[in-house]
Structure 1
Amino acid sequence: MTTDDIATTAEIARLARGTLLPSFPGATAPHWVLDELEAGLGGVTLFALTGNVPSPEALAALTAQMRKAGDPFITIDEEGGDVTRLGGHATGSPYPGNAALGAVDDPELTRRIYRSLGAELAEVGVNFNFAPSVDVNTADDNPVIGTRSFGSDPALVARHAAAAVTGTQEAGVAACAKHFPGHGATVDDSHLGIPLVDADLDLLDRRELVPFRAAIAAGTRAVMTGHLNLPAITHGAPATLSQEAITGLLRERLGYQGVIVTDALDMQGASGAIGIPEASVRALIAGADLLCLGPREHAETVEATLAAIDEAVRAGRLPLARLADAAERTRLLREWLAGHSPAVVDRPAGLEAARRAVRVTGALPGWTAAPLVVETESTGNIAVGPTPWGLRPWAPDAVQADGADGTAKRVLDRAKGRGLVIVLRDAHRHAGQRALTTALLTARPDTVVVEMGLPVWRPRSAVYMATYGAAAANAQAAAELLGLC
């Protein structure tokens, strides 16, 4: 091997390593992560389910440990609301999510919420947040966006996208508008397959792209791609692996010049048929700058992906200049991060927003004793994970119930002599919730219905409360109105 060959090998390895955002288990960085950071690894992605975030104090120690080894992007999914990692995965977030902020429709309050979220992240050493979600949620049965969206109106989503980006970056944390070109019109989850977005360029311009334009105008430092099939644009490939979507649509048509990061490449929508190393190569060819590998992708995946990138460069599939371009964009982002100071945490903003978001139809009863609270079963989605929700912190004798035969009778027997509250979450997506609610209202028309997901399905006659989210802040706002606290 000649000196030039050695130099080229080292250069490819350095540039390729700088694009990777792997993960690892536990609250201490393993030796391989520290070694890779010393060699120029782009950064890491932290996940609550892998034990990276047992407490804010532990997370601060972890990020400090990694910064001694390199200058990494330390990334996380902290949207507030239902998708929370920073402590909220154990207790529920103190900040309501985007649906509640969209219901309030006060962009300055959204800016304040995201500035406080950013301040909390900066305090523990996280400098890159995979938020906000700026998807326009036009499909009621969307299994993965829902309350993560500000709403179904592109103009409303756009003004809050800009406010969220501004607030996050005022705290010295890079914002990341996602999931380009828009995950809101799908009824499939890209964790499990490639969702179809049946929209031509004209419809995208009028709907999905409106909030991305606003986020770009607000100066978002990053945009995340979604694993979405837009036949008119990507011709069957997921957008993450499509040059037409990333370079043609995002770079050229929208004029975006910042960092582009992929959604997790372990998701079936990206790598299910080809594997993560090949998906990584295709994403880089398409124009991505950073590759989020996924929560279970550790040293072995990094090694395999580096080898695949090296092979692609040597085969002429992936120009070395494309890697150099990615490195320059990430260098500029690090330069931006170094020039910003953190903001002040403002947790009262969370409860204020949650209270303002609640909508009540009908007159709430004036109970003389605490009502029986019934919490229905609701399957979350993969992005949300097993985050606690509901009114149990304010109703210790709350009962869990599904729509199985006999459930309504058991609930009614237990509720004799007291008020009755049934708590739903996206009832439009759960037949059991609807059946149980209908049965309870038939026997007890005074039942109060609380919807903590999207208020799409509403019983015809009931006192009805919509919180537009299931975060701890949303739950407290509901509990206050119900007289539980």
Structure 2
Amino acid sequence: MPIDPGLQRLALGTILAAFVGKNAPEWLLALLADGLAGVTLFGTNIENPKQTADLTTRLRSVRRDTLIATDEEGGDVTRLAHRTGSPYPGNAALGVVDDVLSTRMAYASIGSELAACGITLNFAPVADVNTTDDNPVIGTRSFGSDPALVARHTAAAVAGLQSAGVLACTKHFPGHGATRTDSHLGLPVVDVPIPVLRERDLPPFAAAIAAGTAAIMTAHLRIPALTGAGPATFSRAVLQDLLRHEYAFSGAIITDALEMRGAAEVAGGPGPAAVLALAAGADLLCLGAHVTPALVDTVVTDIVTAVADGRLPRTRLEDAAARTAALTPAAGAPAADAPIAGIGWEVARRALRVEGSAEGFGNALVVKLHTGPTIVEGRVPWGLGVPALSIAAASTSPDELIGRAGSRPIVIIGRRLHRTEESRYLIESLTRRHTGAVVEMGWPSDWRPTSARAFLTTYGAGEVNGRAAAAALGLLHPRD
């Protein structure tokens, strides 16, 4: 049975695709001409600002209202600066400084850079309240663990981004901060009563809505009291009853990537996940980084079939496509100002916490302790911006490091250093026998190596976070 072209165009109008490479493939351009809502850019698509601007110009040459989105959070998650590390410190550092004007300025500067590249929708800010220290996917992406603090900085971030003409997509509703499972790898469960969500997780989203956020992204997590056996992305109770009706959100609801296991494994694939998300109230479907023409065709076919057999009302699909289309008039406005010089360095410097004495490390052996990036962080460079010995704790002994250092002190840097017994043992053993400092660039914990001369917390692994720590240790001049 042939597909109704009008219905096919409606379905395409609810999809954000992606591609690999620096140039848009012909299949993607053809889909844009047929009504595809837009494209998400990842690090693999971005080489430099001029190339990115040329790419987005090519995409819009097919259809002017094409949405072009990315994840530019600053700190640990960056697409524009994936080759060097972000010049912005990230949410945890902004939260520690707790200056809402600085947060607004940082996000306005990020927005200006995005706008100059032709990117009109940013999957930021993260509004999750990080109440679980070992959260494997949020951590330093969060402004903090206090709902009121996170709320005021979320509102400032939304205002800053949108002042530069870039649409904000606040995420991950109704809150990913209390999870111990990465939704890329499985379905997290937040088993708390609804009043706990209202008090702990939802205030930042209410603040984002009050600040005028253009979009909100769903979370692939299960809250038994609200979602039953499935994720929030597939829940009418979350997307319609809570977000649309109770919180009166009238913007676009965007899904997190539907190929993530927290959605795809529950539904039986991205196509069925797309149908369930639309039926629940989502408007724009992210298909993730690994998109092919066949995948888009499968998702479109599943949506059209669901309309034909009554599982998805056509009016719901029309509403989703209309809300998505309504994003474009606000997108692409000229940037209000050029990027704000020095804002990232200023916040990173103010966020840095030093316990003990950081003096005497100017000639130290710097050791980078690898614990592996999270999926969302990717392989973005991080560190102190100086030469470092890269090791794994399980395969390195204190004697080996002391032998390499000789009479020089040792600085050990890492992310989430407290999480493994091997890294704690190595650091404790080393600092008992040798002069050492430790730099924690992930979400901090209460653990401290008792014999370390200094313990530095950067609250993020952006390039500028590392540079601030290096300057404090005398390894790098602040202006280097």
| Superposition map of 1:338-349 within 5 A | 341-349=335-343
Q: What is the aligned partner in structure 1 of residue 256 from structure 2?
A: 263
Give the counterpart of 1:146 among 139, 153, 159.
Answer: 139
SS at match of 2:4: helix
Query: Would you say 1:483 and 2:447 are equivalent positions?
Result: no
Q: List 4+ stretches of structure 1 deviating above 6 A.
A: none
SS at match of 1:120: helix
**Do the aligned partners of 2:115 and 2:332 also contact (CA within 8 Å) in 1?**
no
CA distance in 2, matches of 1:165, 1:297: 29
**Do the aligned partners of 2:71 and 2:123 also contact (CA within 8 Å) in 1?**
yes
CA distance in 2, matches of 1:116, 1:300: 38
**Do the aligned partners of 1:451 and 1:465 also contact (CA within 8 Å) in 2?**
yes
Q: What is the aligned partner in structure 1 of residue 22 from structure 2?
A: 27
Q: What is the aligned partner in structure 2 of residue 115 from structure 1?
A: 108
CA distance in 2, matches of 1:400, 1:38: 47
Aligned residues: 472
Change beyond 3 A, Cα 1:476–1:338: closer
CA distance in 1, matches of 2:440, 2:196: 31
SS at match of 1:322: helix
Give the counterpart of 2:304 among 297, 301, 310.
Answer: 310
**Do the aligned partners of 2:166 and 2:333 also contact (CA within 8 Å) in 1?**
no
SS at match of 2:145: coil
Q: What is the aligned partner in structure 1 of residue 420 from structure 2?
A: 430
Q: What is the aligned partner in structure 2 of residue 9 from structure 1?
A: 4
Query: Would you say 1:231 and 2:224 are equivalent positions?
Result: yes
| Superposition map of 1:181-330 within 5 A | 181-273=174-266, 274-330=268-324
Quick one: which amino acid aligns to residue 157 of structure 2? A
Query: Would you say 1:36 and 2:31 are equivalent positions?
Result: yes
Quick one: which amino acid aligns to residue 450 of structure 1? V
**Do the aligned partners of 2:76 and 2:460 also contact (CA within 8 Å) in 1?**
yes
Q: What is the aligned partner in structure 2 of residue 96 from structure 1?
A: 89
Q: What is the aligned partner in structure 2 of residue 413 from structure 1?
A: 403
CA distance in 1, matches of 2:431, 2:262: 41
Structure-1-length-normalised TM-score: 0.95
**Do the aligned partners of 1:142 and 1:186 also contact (CA within 8 Å) in 2?**
yes
Unpaired runs of 5+ residues, structure 2, are none
Q: What is the aligned partner in structure 2 of residue 441 from structure 1?
A: 431
Change beyond 3 A, Cα 1:341–1:476: closer
CA distance in 1, matches of 2:112, 2:395: 48
Give the counterpart of 1:59 among 35, 52, 77.
Answer: 52
**Do the aligned partners of 1:402 and 1:436 also contact (CA within 8 Å) in 2?**
no
Give the counterpart of 1:465 among 434, 456, 466.
Answer: 456
Pairwise CA distance, 1:31? 1.1
Quick one: which amino acid aligns to residue 351 of structure 2? A
Structure-2-length-normalised TM-score: 0.96
**Do the aligned partners of 1:59 and 1:124 also contact (CA within 8 Å) in 2?**
yes
Quick one: which amino acid aligns to residue 371 of structure 2? S
Quick one: which amino acid aligns to residue 415 of structure 2? R
Quick one: which amino acid aligns to residue 361 of structure 1? E
